[in-house]
Each structure stands twice: as C-alpha cells, then as structure tokens.
Amino acid sequence: MKGRIIIISAPSGCGKSTIINEIMNRGNVEMHFSVSATNRAPRPGETDGINYHFMTDDEFRRAIADDEFIEYEEVYPGRFYGTLKSEVENRCRNGQTVVLDIDVKGGLRVKEMYGDKARSIYIMPPSVEELRRRLESRATDSAEAINERVNKAEYELSFAPRYDVRVVNDDLATAVNDAEREIAQFIAG
C-alpha cells in the first residue's frame, strides 16, 4: 500500500472544511485529516487538537526551530500556519492517505515535494461576491478579517491553474461528489 497526500486549497470561505468534513463523514474513502498548527486564535466552535493545534507565538517559533514542520507559511500578516511532520510522515510510511487543508503556496510546495504521491485539488467559489456572502453568513470573522480574506481571494485564485484538478463549490452535494470521486480514483490508481 502506498501512502498518499491529498492537498486541498482555496481562498478562505470557499468550503474546504465543509467538503473535507462531509467526505470524512460519508466514510467512502479512508483518509486522515492532518491537523495543522497555527498561532491564530480559535474561532467559536473550534477545538484544540481537532481543528488546529493552537499555539502561542513562542510555541510556533519553537516548533520552527525544532524542525517540526514539513512547511509553514505566514498566510495573513502575523498569522502562521504549518503542516506538522508528526501528522503526516508516519501515516504516509504506513500506506495511509492524509488530507491537508493548506494555503496556495504551501499546497504547491507540498505537491513539489511529494510529486506523484500527492494530488492537488483546488476548490473554486462560484464568484468572489458569493465568497463574501458565505464568510458573512459563517459569522466567525470580524468585518476586517472578512475584507482581508476577500481581498486576498483574487491573488489566491490565480494559483488554481497550477493544481491537478479544480472543483467548483456551487451546489455543495455536487462539489462533495466531485472531490470524493477524484480522491477515490487517485487512491485506487
């Protein structure tokens, strides 16, 4: 059995977490979510160790110094996110499939590192206006954070052609089916 990496990227609010959770709940494909580390504050409803390993600035710096990351990025000014070796490497060696929710720069870097062992999937919003509506109705970010995320979306969308596949998240069930099919084919191949 070969270990595989599924890379999922998209601007914030496009539905990455929703789609990953739905595929994992369905249980048709066996994959493990890689819980990233971040120094951002937990949102209401987020749990340490489940959504992220929430770290202080110092803890994050120490993890960098101790070489604990496969990659990390400053995705927003002062806010760092990183993929921990401890979430990925053993599972891959054991032939398991690991799914990463990761920003565009990190996603391309991991694809470069893992080559054919990784499949990169870009979740596209129907439009940037719809993206803003979803972030507003998710109601987990301040108006300032929503503006920051929407403003960054156009830049992030310019990375979509460099991913292996693109899935449009307009109708959620269709997007989940498309992403699930893509992952199942990759694992089987």
Residue ranges binding ligand 5GP (CB under 6 A): 12, 36, 40, 71, 73, 75, 81-83, 101-103, 106
Question: Residue 14's binding partner, choosing from ligand ADP, ligand 5GP, none, with beta-carbon cut-off 5 to 8 A by kind?
Answer: ligand ADP
Question: Residue 138's binding partner, choosing from ligand 5GP, ligand ADP, none, with beta-carbon cut-off 5 to 8 A by kind?
Answer: ligand ADP
Residues 6 or more apart in contact with residue 119 via CB below 8 angstroms: 4, 5, 6, 7, 164, 165, 182, 183, 186
Question: Residue 182's binding partner, choosing from ligand 5GP, ligand ADP, none, with beta-carbon cut-off 5 to 8 A by kind?
Answer: none
Nearer to ligand ADP, 108 or 123 (CB): 123
Question: Residue 82's binding partner, choosing from ligand ADP, ligand 5GP, none, with beta-carbon cut-off 5 to 8 A by kind?
Answer: ligand 5GP
CB of 172 to ligand 5GP, least distance (A): 18
CB of 86 to ligand ADP, least distance (A): 22
The residue type of 170 is D
Strand order in the sheet with 79-84: 53-54, 37-38, 79-84, 69-76
Question: Residue 97's binding partner, choosing from ligand 5GP, ligand ADP, none, with beta-carbon cut-off 5 to 8 A by kind?
Answer: none
Q: What does the binding site for ligand ADP look like in residue numbers (CB under 6 A)?
A: 10, 12-18, 134, 137-138, 169, 172
DSSP, residue by residue, 126-159 = S-HHHHHHHHHHHT-S-HHHHHHHHHHHHHHHTT
Could you give the CA distance from residue 77 to residue 148 in angstroms, rounded to a whole number? 10
CB of 188 to ligand 5GP, least distance (A): 26
Name which of 119, 136, 86, 117 is nearest 9 in CA terms.
119
- Radius of gyration for the alpha carbons in the chain, expressed in angstroms and rounded: 16
